[in-house]
Amino acid sequence: MRDAAKDDAHKTPHLIEDRIIHAALSGRIAPGERLGEKELSEIFGVSRTLVREAMMRLQARGIVEVSARRGWFVVEPSVREAQNTIDARRALEVGMLVTLGRVDAAAIRALRAHVHAEQQAIAGGDRAERSYLLGHFHVCLAETLGNPVLAALLQDLTTRTVLIAALYQSSHDAHESCREHDEIIDALEHGDTQGAARLMDTHLRHVEKALNYRSASNRLDHLKAALQATPR
How far apart CA 28 and CA 53 sit, in angstroms, is 22
More confident residue, 126 or 198: 198
Specify if 231 maps to a domain.
no
My answer on whether 46 and 137 are in the same domain is no
Specify if 195 maps to a domain.
yes
Residue 220 above 60 pLDDT?
Answer: no
Average pLDDT over the chain, rounded to an integer: 83
**Structural domain for 99, as ranges:** 79-222
**Which pLDDT does position 210 carry in this prediction?**
74
Residue 223 above 80 pLDDT?
Answer: no
Name residue 71's beta-bridge partners: 67
Total domains present in the chain: 2
**Which pLDDT does position 7 carry in this prediction?**
42
- Among 74, 96, 123, where does a domain finish? 74
CATH number assigned to the domain comprising residue 106: 1.20.120.530
Mean pLDDT of 210-218: 57
Among 80-94, 95-109, 205-219, the range scoring the smallest mean pLDDT is 205-219
**Which pLDDT does position 31 carry in this prediction?**
83
pLDDT confidence band for 213 (50 / 70 / 90): low
My answer on whether 89 and 53 are in the same domain is no
3-state secondary structure 109-178: HHHHHHHHHHHHHHHCCCHHHHHHHHHHHHHHHHHHCCCHHHHHHHHHHHHHHHHHHHHHCCHHHHHHHH
Specify if 133 maps to a domain.
yes
**Which pLDDT does position 150 carry in this prediction?**
93
My answer on whether 55 and 68 are in the same domain is yes
- Torsion over CA of 189, 194, 198 and 203, rounded to 10 degrees? 30
Cα–Cα distances in Å, from 150 out to 44, 144, 159?
A: 29, 11, 14
Among 6-20, 87-101, 120-134, 155-169, the range scoring the smallest mean pLDDT is 6-20
My answer on whether 49 and 159 are in the same domain is no
Specify if 228 maps to a domain.
no
How far apart CA 179 and CA 195 sit, in angstroms, is 15
Specify if 229 maps to a domain.
no
Specify if 89 maps to a domain.
yes
CATH number assigned to the domain comprising residue 62: 1.10.10.10
**Amino acid at position 12, single letter:** T
Specify if 227 maps to a domain.
no
**Which pLDDT does position 183 carry in this prediction?**
98
**Which pLDDT does position 131 carry in this prediction?**
85
- Among 45, 74, 103, where does a domain finish? 74
User: Which of 9-23, 123-137, 212-226 holds the top average pLDDT?
Assistant: 123-137
Residue 37 above 50 pLDDT?
Answer: yes
My answer on whether 208 and 115 are in the same domain is yes
**Which pLDDT does position 212 carry in this prediction?**
64
Mean pLDDT of 70-88: 86
> DSSP letters of 26-89?
TTSS-TT-B--HHHHHHHHTS-HHHHHHHHHHHHHTTSEEEETTTEEEE----HHHHHHHHHHH
**Which pLDDT does position 80 carry in this prediction?**
82
Q: Which sign does the torsion angle of CA 123, 112, 28, 170 carry?
A: negative
160-196 pLDDT, tens digit per residue, is 887 776 655 667 788 999 999 999 999 999 999 999 9
My answer on whether 18 and 106 are in the same domain is no
**Amino acid at position 90, single letter:** R
pLDDT confidence band for 93 (50 / 70 / 90): very high
Mean pLDDT of 101-118: 95
Specify if 90 maps to a domain.
yes
Rg of the chain over all Cα atoms, to the nearest angstrom: 20
Residue 8 above 50 pLDDT?
Answer: no
Task: Please give the angle made by the CA atoms of 110, 111 and 116, to the nearest 5 degrees.
Answer: 100
